[in-house]
Structure 1
């Protein structure tokens, strides 16, 4: 049953009979303690947590903090932002403490990953706790510091607990004579170095590989600036020695077309070279897919280039193009 305040009021004040018939004894007593205004204002919502009676996010925040005091993790976050280290390092420490770094265990919650193993040791699923504490690579970095840290012996159970140790080092860490700010800075730099090493192990670009014996490899690419573009080709033999290098400007401002022109040009230049096989490397997957016998339809922007490249490959039986 929905009621408004005016339905519980008569000419003398609170309608005690209606209140007692509607609510239990405890609620009835609370209602009777509310003073009624003689001006008879209209009913409205009042936020009782501030003097204005109007809701604000700030007042709601402080109300929630009074009801539920901050946990240790919130205190750690506050200490991070108050520390006197570089803002970049603060952000990195906060991401570790909040466990929101894009480690493989976190990413696996949102998408399917083929590889969830730790990139630095390859022995189990990657997590922030393992990456910064238990990984053999990481343990060696901590131990080689001037304090000879053995974080794995501190029974740390969360990334937030780890950052708490950096902010308030326990006696087991044994940093006598060292300022806490200096210790925190050192640990923050090490954490950043660990994260960079991890990313390097995952995302390091594969180095150039020599082609098979008696073959050449031609790397082609295109560069763009404003409405102009240039293409270039570098050919090297199986020893890694340069066979030819060339570049020219082309009349195209579309990356796919320019890279296609670069491949076409590289094939025409290599026709006269006496080799057992030729490999063309290019980072344009669209064009590689167009030339490969995958059944995919050639992108419409390069349909005018494709046939000539196929003809060039087919006419020379000794010429093999691997893209």
Structure 2
């Protein structure tokens, strides 16, 4: 399936085989009860479905991977051979289909439209990206710009949109060519000082690398419309057995084969509840209104009066156990215990209902309650930990660096069209060395935080006579600098490369991730500068009052702690 596109007839047969296995695995029959559409079951688990795959779309996602290899010029033999045979050039996504191609190549070219939905060029040197034809605008749905006028230069490259110094975008040219929305999106693209190569990235994954999973989600994105995302996500993440999770999911979406569900397919006129034989059976009656079920709920260790909860639907019933009412005042362990009790009770009631239908065996309430208590103890005992580990926590306050070191705290505040970054440097006694704020042309938080760290790196290089530690509360950026290439978010690839180029010849710069309170001074300065549009250098003679108070308070705390030592 990952080599070429299969005929639709074969994909349909594969889908039918999976449907038969799920709905009626013990019989080779095409007639079975389906309380929910197959398309709904193919949704992801956190969108009400069970993550079954449609083979046609899975096939397309698998074949898209070799297409991504062709686009990104992967260094492997098969890619080189295909590129040479079919004359693949830089404009391959826009090129017409090859004639007399093999099944493999025909499949790759047929999924080009899918690849176009997720690929974008990361701006590096800017010399190989055509402004009007290549997808390069990250914050536009199609990644491609629409010209303001019909007369355009089709050979215009992105590097020609920069100012003469190459340090930023040419505002006059941008205003002449693009509308305001496009200009804002262009200015969100960083102009890095180091000339990295322009390269393709897959925007549907965190690290910019193509994956079949993300491509399949892209293809099926229009099919996934969910109304109970938070409930279903909590069901599948619950700390209970997988079989119990499946039962909770079936109850929540009213998928159990109760008599009210089967009456359209059955010739039987009997719709009474198999347990009480009084009222018509439905999922809501079966679990909350039947007097047998109410007795089982009340006989458990929680002594629940389930009929007093005014439950209107099976979904609401499951929600009560997933998110217990605040009036119960349960802690974390009690919430887990309450959920396990609810899941086991629902499963036990359904099991005895099936015995009453199939074996004509009426439930004995005392026996059911004793079985439920025994089952609860069997499932709950392994969850009691022998040793409780105390998690380590980050320091929530600013701490002075070692003697002879300089600490640079950096932070960013995002506005509607631009952002402000701030750097605050202090020495080991808490004394302010300098404070800087600067405006940057981006309204994307992750890029603004990256700009702040990069500015701190450039400043640290100028203090080569002492070691510097750079602190930020944005964990993604700090982890990106410290981690391998495969773990870096695609928006930070050029940022990380720039940082590593700057510090390649220096070993006196280190990075720490800290709590927001530990960089409070930088945070206050960035907010103040953005609100008043005042940027530049600040010292203790001219600085914002709030910033001044933070510096004094933290310096006083440091001096007191040093005095006690």
TM-score (norm 1): 0.44
TM-score (norm 2): 0.27
Whichever of the two has the greater Rg, that structure is: 1
Instruction: Tell me which protein shows more strand as a share of its residues.
Output: 1
Structure number with higher relative contact order (C-alpha < 8 Å, ≥ 6 residues apart)? 2
